[in-house]
Amino acid sequence: MVNSLNKSKNSRQLIIGIFLVILGLMFSFYVSSINTSDAAIWLVACALGFTLQKSRFCFASSFRDLFLFGSGQNMKGILIALAVSSIGFIGILNWILPNPLPGEFPSSAHVLPVGLSTIVAGVVFGVGMVVSGGCISGTIYRIAEGYVASIITMLGVIIGAVLLIASWDFWWVNLISKESKIFLPSTFSLGYGFSLLITLIGLFLIYILVLFIESKSGIVEYKVNEMQDNNSQDIKSKLLVVFQSFFVKSWSIKLGGLSVGFLSIVYFLFHSPPGVTGEIMKLSLNISKVINLSDGVLSGIGSLSGCLGSIGSSGIISHTFVSTVGVFFGALISALFSREFKIRKPKEFKRYYQSLSGGVLMGYSASLGIGCTIGAFFSAIPSLSLSGWVFGFSLLLGSFIGTKIIRRFG
């Protein structure tokens, strides 16, 4: 009886997933009548959400696991994604701005101001994502899986963003407006080739460091070889194996890293590097205006790129909408295909206030850093912006502090 109910539930999830695929394609067709670029980004964002969920690609766990368990498996996936996207971005950057003069940079790339605000944002975000149990992109795909705590985290993110908006003028006047945008090819006259070389060497050195941490902790990477049923040779069985391998079973973090890196390149080809907080910022900006915490306009917003710089788009269906909602939509399809959607409530009540407080910290710092782990870190490093490296090392420090908090308070 129980097996019958489980089969019925699994079949229902698959049917709903297929329906959402059709609905997503129809929505893309509708968006294409408004803006073909946004239609393409919708599809790519859905693919990104699908990839994040399928490979459990999460920045929070990658940083946290290094300190808690000495495991670098998730970090290796991120390094692969960064290397792939960095190589792909070079061609796009050179196409947009062939010979950058000192002080010049491609406006569509995530070349962000770098300084004390970047460090503060990275540290606070690192603490927040460890305490809450996931970064913002991870929170989005966990909501798609039915995690109630992640919904609380997202509520905290919105609250944090509203608080940052209310205090934006302080940060803009005293720090951000005075900080420089350092684009490696032009600022230090490195050119694209040498800038890419430095980036790849930096990623390789971090990879060696991760291997060292794993060796000290005794972490061993085990490879599981699945037994293939060689008796089933008909075309139907083979197609079923392919379908299950791609749509149902989990992906390795390395495959996830390759996919995320490739998708980020496609993102950039159609609009700009990926980011998921743009629509969250737009919503927070509207909320702050309704409750009279701001006039709905952020000082200097027109001079910024990244997730914060894209919130000026008008209308409901915009670049920020398809980028953020598309990731959720794709993750939901992935969860349904894998039969992993289930309403999950925290077993301990303290997880609610951990999720909320961590979300507030992430919302505040993502707005301050002009992006989260995807916009200010993952997209900035391949954009050859020094801010990406500074934000990344600040994330590392914040994650270390976050793990201390988790160990102390549980």
CA distance between the termini of the chain: 39
Q: Is the pLDDT of residue 221 over 70?
A: no
Q: Are 139 and 61 in contact (CB under 8 A)?
A: no
Round to whole Å and give the CA distance between 279 and 298.
15
Residue matched to tokens 């701001």: 294
Q: Provide the whole-model pTM.
A: 0.90
Q: Are 276 and 327 in contact (CB under 8 A)?
A: yes
pLDDT, residue 6, reads 61
Round to whole Å and give the CA distance between 109 and 305.
7
Domain ranges of the chain: 2-217+246-409
Q: Sign (positive/negative) of CA torsion 386, 270, 35, 104? A: positive
pLDDT, residue 259, reads 96
Tens digits of residue pLDDT in 301-347 = 777 776 665 665 666 788 889 999 999 999 999 999 999 899 999 98
Rounded to an integer, the average pLDDT of 24-43 is: 94
Which residues neighbour 198 within 8 Å (Cβ) at sequence distance 6 or greater? Answer: 184, 190
Q: Are 44 and 262 in contact (CB under 8 A)?
A: no
Tell me whether residue 358 is exposed, middle or buried, using C-beta atoms within 10 angstroms of its C-beta: 0 to 12, 13 to 18, 19 or more.
buried
Q: Are 165 and 85 in contact (CB under 8 A)?
A: no
Q: Which amino acid is at 150?
A: S
Give the pair of three-digit tokens for residue 337: 């295909």
Three-class DSSP category at 139: helix
Quick one: pLDDT band at residue 61, thresholds 50, 70, 90?
confident
Round to whole Å and give the CA distance between 369 and 388.
10
Round to whole Å and give the CA distance between 392 and 372.
10
Q: Is the pLDDT of residue 225 over 80?
A: no
Q: Which is nearest to 49 in space by CA: 320, 265, 256?
A: 256
Give the pair of three-digit tokens for residue 120: 């503060």
**Higher pLDDT residue, 16 or 101?**
16
Tens digits of residue pLDDT in 174-211 = 999 999 999 999 988 889 999 999 999 999 999 999 99
